[in-house]
Chain A
Amino acid sequence: MTAELEKRFIKELEENQNIIHKVCKAYTTNRDDHNDLFQEISIQLWKAYDKFRGDSKFSTWMYRVALNTAISLYRKSKRSIKTGELYDNSKELIYEEYDDTTEVQLATLYKMIHQLNDIEKALVLLYLEDKSYREIALCLGISEVNARVKMNRTKTKLKKLVNP
């Protein structure tokens, strides 16, 4: 691949990196795993970049590759379990009753997401990104009806997790 192509890719990757951080934070529970997954997603994106035709937005394409990597290709490294620094969720523990700041809400949200399985996580992430059920179905390779059913089940599961 040419240097020009690489430069363009790095620029787009840098601008859209928050998408990867969102996926990494949903699929990992500590900094080491987050960094590992971030690197793997970046590698996979670069490997697939020459096939990116621009039919969809770069961010949409990126979301698909990032989710696919997290769900299907990523293997958690054993090293990180021992050395990893856990995400700081202390705020949510202290301020849970005054659940009104963005940070606390986010911490609560991630805490819930971490209790879901890989597919449920993908559904919730795409839903939070405001993707339609059609787009969710297209990304995961399931029917639109099935996407709706799964999303409803996931929402019910989340409710049960919070209010057992």
Chain B
Amino acid sequence: MEDLKQYKDVWRQQEYKDLQVDENTLSQMIHRKSSSIVKWIFYISLIEFLVLTLINIFVKLDENETDLKQMGLGQFMNWITIIVGYIIPLFFIYLFYKNYKQISVTSTTKALIHSILKTRKTVMYYIITIVLAITITLLYSTYAILHSPEYAGLLADYSTNGELLLWGIVILFILAVDGLLLLFYFLLYGLLVRKLIFNYKELTKQ
């Protein structure tokens, strides 16, 4: 190949006669819906916030509060519900909105990609936080159950390896739930921002 410079003239001469769009069509075009990746990230993130918040609400509704109180978990569950159900989602929604508003198509390419990835990362941190909260709640509840006189007696009657069995079931359950949530997230995340991550690495490469 000869030098790229030689193509400068020919580049300027391009006319695209067959592709010209008239004012009328342009006028209609600019009012159509955008299909940008940012819009998808916004919708998917909102769905994730909603789904996880709904899971929190349903988990709370399904709890047998009397049983929890008997096990000494009433206070613990109240705090968990307030923190995981309200404080954490509100904090992350605020962060997400703040980052989302900073996305500007007129900034530099590097700054634009960085702000999109930052917005998406906020959702990733939210998911990790919820997954951790679910894990800690399940582990703590299991521990409390095993140490409550009523349930410990029941387990002892059921099997000699009752405690071990319960831990096994709980850990398997945690792994399955956490694994599914993380797999779903990384698939979605990977598909959406794979191109952006690649381009960002290209830009930051020295």
Contacts and interface: CB of A to CB of B under 8 A. Distances in A.
B101 interface: no
A4 interface: no
18 contacts: A17-B21, A17-B26, A22-B14, A43-B30, A44-B34, A45-B30, A68-B107, A75-B35, A118-B199, A128-B11, A130-B8, A138-B108, A140-B108, A140-B110, A141-B203, A142-B203, A158-B1, A159-B1
Nearest to A64: B106
A72 to B, nearest CB: 5
Contact of B105 (A17, A65, A139): A65
Interface residues of B, number: 45
Interface in B3-38: 3-4, 7-8, 10-11, 13-16, 19-23, 26-27, 29-30, 32, 34-38
| Secondary structure call for the B interface | helix
Given A10-B23, A43-B34, A130-B8, A119 B202 contact: yes
Contacts of A36: 35
Contacts, number: 146
B124 interface: no
Given A13-B26, A47-B34, A74-B37, 14 more contacts: A10-B26, A10-B30, A21-B19, A40-B36, A68-B109, A71-B199, A72-B109, A73-B38, A102-B10, A105-B7, A109-B7, A109-B11, A141-B203, A155-B4
Contact of B202 (A42, A118, A128): A118
Given A72-B196, A128-B7, A142-B203, A51 B36 contact: no
A34 B21 CA distance: 12
Nearest to B113: A72
B137 interface: no
B112 A72 contact: yes
Contacts of B19: 21, 34
Contacts of A155: 3-4
B38 to A, nearest CB: 6
Interface in B161-187: none
Contacts of A25: 16
Contact of B106 (A43, A46, A61, A102): A61
Contacts of A21: 14, 16, 19
A134 interface: no
A75 B43 CA distance: 15
A123 to B, nearest CB: 10
A61 B37 CA distance: 21
A65 B30 CA distance: 14
A90 interface: no
A158 B35 contact: no
